[in-house]
Structure 1
């Protein structure tokens, strides 16, 4: 006697194909969003590190000299 569970089912086949397509599209969108966020984070870290090094290497501005106020007579 043949096993009825091994029989081909066209409705189930179409449903699984459609589900596979939807899941594949969602997976692609999730991966691309992850790549975008990774690139944004990497750019922010690089900018912060560059700004920190440039701030450390540039000389500070000279202090302003205080001027004394003359008294009016």
Structure 2
């Protein structure tokens, strides 16, 4: 026989876990996108500094 109180408690815990999991994934995606953009910008600046050392762009 199932315990209805345990079932209700687990259902509530699962819904809370799902909501927090969604927030964590969204925050991780945002941080990852920001990291990739900063890395690409640094990479392009480094290559421009190598190819055009007198242009002043790649610092």
- The TM tier, using the shorter chain, reads 0.7 to 0.9
Give how far 1:59 is off: 4.6
Structure 1 residue runs without a partner (length 5+): 1-6, 62-73
Q: C-alpha separation between the residues in 1 aligned to 2:20 and 2:27?
A: 11
**Residues 44-59 of structure 1: pairs in structure 2 closer than 5 A:** 44-59=38-53
Runs of 4+ in 1 over 2 A off after TM superposition: none
Aligned residues: 55
Work out which structure has the larger RCO, using CA pairs closer than 8 Å and 6 or more positions apart in sequence: 2
Rg larger for:
1
1 CA distance for matches of 2:33 and 2:3?
A: 45
Matching residue of 2:16: 22
Alignment partner of 1:38 is 2:49: no
Structure 1 or 2: more helix by fraction = 2
Unaligned runs of 5+ in 2: none
TM-score normalized by the length of structure 2: 0.82
Tell me the C-alpha RMSD between the 2 structures: 1.4
